[in-house]
Structure 1
Amino acid sequence: MSTAGLLDAVQNDDVIIDCAVYRDGVRESTEHHTSALEEALAGLGDDDFLWIGIGNPRTDELERVAETLGLHPLAVEDALEAHQRPKVERYPDHIFMTLRSVSYSDDDITTHEVNIFMGKKFLLTVRHGGPDLKDARRSAENMIEPLSHGPTAALHAVVDTIVDRYEDVARELETDVEEVESSVFSSEFSNDSSRIYRLKRETLEFRRAVFPLRDPVERFATTSMPEDARPYFRDIGDHLARAAEAIDSIDKLLDNALNAHLAQLSVQQNEDMRKLTAGATIFAVPTAVAGVYGMNFEHMPELSWSFGYPLVVGLTAGVCLYIYRRFKRSGWL
């Protein structure tokens, strides 16, 4: 059996392990089972490394891989819990990194945790739901020269793929915010407050995925990584900065849209109250006249006058028309 490795097919329910040895940036294959891990590690040369991908692992599966790679138990526990804040932790012989992949659909942001272990001779990714990382692996494999620098290049490929998606989600959010703004300032009545609130909640979830990652990536770009790898992580830092700026901008736009929507509701209520007041004032005149004649007084001279009825009706209508014209000129109607 070859010492180079590809472990693509250990499948229990939705668990898939994909592992390959890279020699001078070129992928090599071997039998598809976890027992080949130790043999693959033992056969690594000075410039070779092992890239392992696990999706939705059970505890025993991850612990078996962790024992083979010599991973710290606290990091393994964090990787299993899948409710970690984005972070980077250093252990004696490997780095543990947690970040979140983000997807967006129908005003709903969904995040899934991705945990990464990077040692001198290996990179292990542990994914809990969300899209797979095959695109990151294929992208890295198409660039043989970077992969020849070891697991740091694989780490960059994974993080870069996830962070690039942040900018895509930010653009989709901005499009929805523009729709909300158009709806808020349209002439048609719409109930936008619920959608604005939902978008703000999703923006908060997006912020929790992006903002904690900026400091670790900044350290990667300045001190934590080899000199030749730092420019690649500076590029990721730039993408994170743009995503963070977009999130701040979206949040402010949503605040402004919500304030504008509430202001419009207040203006509309004031206009409705003015119309109701004007209408009540107009109808107060005939109500008062009807109230007087409804009291059945005996000594009312106009009752016996043939023009009394049309005179009272005409006078009442004239006063109502005068009040209506005054309200119309003042903008109350």
Structure 2
Amino acid sequence: MDQRPAPTRRRTTLPDLLRRALRRPTRTTPPATGPTNPDAVVDCAVYVDGQRQPGRPHYTDAHTHSRRNRRSFVWLGLHDPTPAVMTAVGHTFGLDEFHITQALTDGHRPTLQRHDDVTLLVLRTAAYVEHTELTDTSEVVDTGDVMIFIGDRFVVTVRHGAPGALTTVRQDLQQRRTILAEGPWAVAYAICARMVTQYLDVATHVETDLEQLEETVFARERTADIPHIYQLKREIVELKRAVLPAQAPLRTLATPPTDGPPPALRRWFTDVDGDLARAVDRVNAYDDLLNSILQTRLAQLAVEQNNDMRKIAAWAAIAATQTAVAGIYGMNFTHMPELHWRYGYGAALLLMATAALTLHRLFRRSGWL
């Protein structure tokens, strides 16, 4: 039998390993990419037992996660969403066409509505606009609105306008885990409390404007014009449209309903309703005070016009005596007393001057001049 020598195994060296590694095709694993939130999304988070979960997921993933845990909910914050974004959000969270249509428009009156399993709470936002002086075009109060859609395990906030940012509301509420653990209604309470706080803050600044306006009206040199007063009155009316209608929905949330905030949050809504009552009283008082300032300014204008008319009448009376004397001696009749008198011209001038000085002194003594 032919015996062949066994083949010797070649030793693998380091250069061989490098060449094999270079010839072997590399497999690249694409990074895990999920859907990104649209620009209208200010923030999106999932909360479990009052604790925010790490990250900022897409609202669809957050909604799916919240459905798996009964102790969790999702808070989605939107600012001026487009129809496409709001429609997608509505389909994800089960909002009907009415909710989507309401969320796309602004200028709503504060209200509380419930449709199926979703509660809609609408509030007006308010912010004070700083200005150096009050003019007939000064913007004092800037308003917007915020819509809160409250579901079983979600809350969607839609904000329109510049004032009323909810970033600080979210940050402050995340520090109060006991309240946040109550679920979506805790977010509604925090937003209501912040809106009422802003009402009181705006009322404080408006009070300063009213004090300055009152000082200018009663000052010796008055600089407050009627258009300035009307402009501030329009701004206060704008603030009243935000504050006064909010009483009905907040009072409803503060009373024991069949469905609504949990009992642990009801007393907090009662506290917010009390603060709102203070804001309503202040705004109504400012409106009454501004009406008084306006009536006072109108009365001052009437007095000033009366004084002007008395001065005009006094000077007209003084001028009338001169006109009477000059008119009598300007008739050019042939037979007139003192017509050919040598001192008639000087006597007529003296008579006119004496009458003018006498009337001027009498009018000054009576306060007409």
Aligned-pair RMSD on alpha carbons? 2.1
Which residue in the other structure is 1:256 paired with?
292
8 Å contact kept, 1:9–1:17: no
Whole-angstrom distance in 1 between the partners of 2:142 and 2:170: 22
Matching residue's letter, 1:110: D
Whole-angstrom distance in 2 between the partners of 1:216 and 1:34: 28
Instruction: Report deviation, 1:31.
Output: 5.2
Instruction: Report deviation, 1:278.
Output: 0.5
Bigger proportion of residues as helix: 1
Whole-angstrom distance in 1 between the partners of 2:247 and 2:274: 9
Structure 1 length normalisation: TM-score? 0.90
Does residue 1:222 correspond to 2:259, yes or no? Answer: no
- Say if 1:83 and 1:46 are closer, same or farther in 2 by CA, change over 3 A: same
Instruction: Report deviation, 1:212.
Output: 1.5
Matching residue's letter, 2:62: L
Structure with the greater alpha carbon radius of gyration:
2
Which residue in the other structure is 2:166 paired with?
133
Instruction: Report deviation, 1:34.
Output: 3.7
Matching residue's letter, 2:106: A
Which residue in the other structure is 1:199 paired with?
232
Deviations, residues 168-222 of structure 1 (Å, cap 9, x unaligned):
1111222222222222222224452112212222222211211121111111111
Matching residue's letter, 2:158: V
Which residue in the other structure is 1:20 paired with?
45
Instruction: Report deviation, 1:18.
Output: 1.1
Report the number of matched residues: 324
8 Å contact kept, 2:73–2:184: yes
Instruction: Report deviation, 1:102.
Output: 1.0
The more displaced of 219-228 and 297-306 is 297-306
Matching residue's letter, 1:140: L
Which residue in the other structure is 2:267 paired with?
231
Whole-angstrom distance in 2 between the partners of 1:206 and 1:8: 40
Which residue in the other structure is 1:95 paired with?
119
Whole-angstrom distance in 1 between the partners of 2:35 and 2:47: 15
2:74 pairs with one of 34, 50, 68 = 50
1:30 pairs with one of 48, 55, 62 = 55
Whole-angstrom distance in 1 between the partners of 2:246 and 2:329: 81
Which residue in the other structure is 2:19 paired with?
none
Instruction: Report deviation, 1:302.
Output: 3.6
8 Å contact kept, 2:66–2:72: no
8 Å contact kept, 2:60–2:92: no
- Say if 1:64 and 1:11 are closer, same or farther in 2 by CA, change over 3 A: closer
Instruction: Report deviation, 1:71.
Output: 2.1
Whole-angstrom distance in 1 between the partners of 2:86 and 2:355: 87
Matching residue's letter, 1:117: F
Instruction: Report deviation, 1:299.
Output: 4.2
Q: Once the two structures are aligned, what percentage of the paired residues are identical?
A: 40
Matching residue's letter, 1:204: V
8 Å contact kept, 1:278–1:327: yes
Instruction: Report deviation, 1:154.
Output: 1.4
Structure 2 length normalisation: TM-score? 0.82
Whole-angstrom distance in 1 between the partners of 2:70 and 2:61: 19
1:115 pairs with one of 147, 150, 155 = 147
Which residue in the other structure is 2:12 paired with?
none
Instruction: Report deviation, 1:242.
Output: 1.2
- Say if 1:35 and 1:215 are closer, same or farther in 2 by CA, change over 3 A: closer
Matching residue's letter, 2:142: T
Whole-angstrom distance in 2 between the partners of 1:33 and 1:227: 32
Whole-angstrom distance in 2 between the partners of 1:87 and 1:101: 13
Instruction: Report deviation, 1:82.
Output: 2.1
8 Å contact kept, 1:101–1:130: no
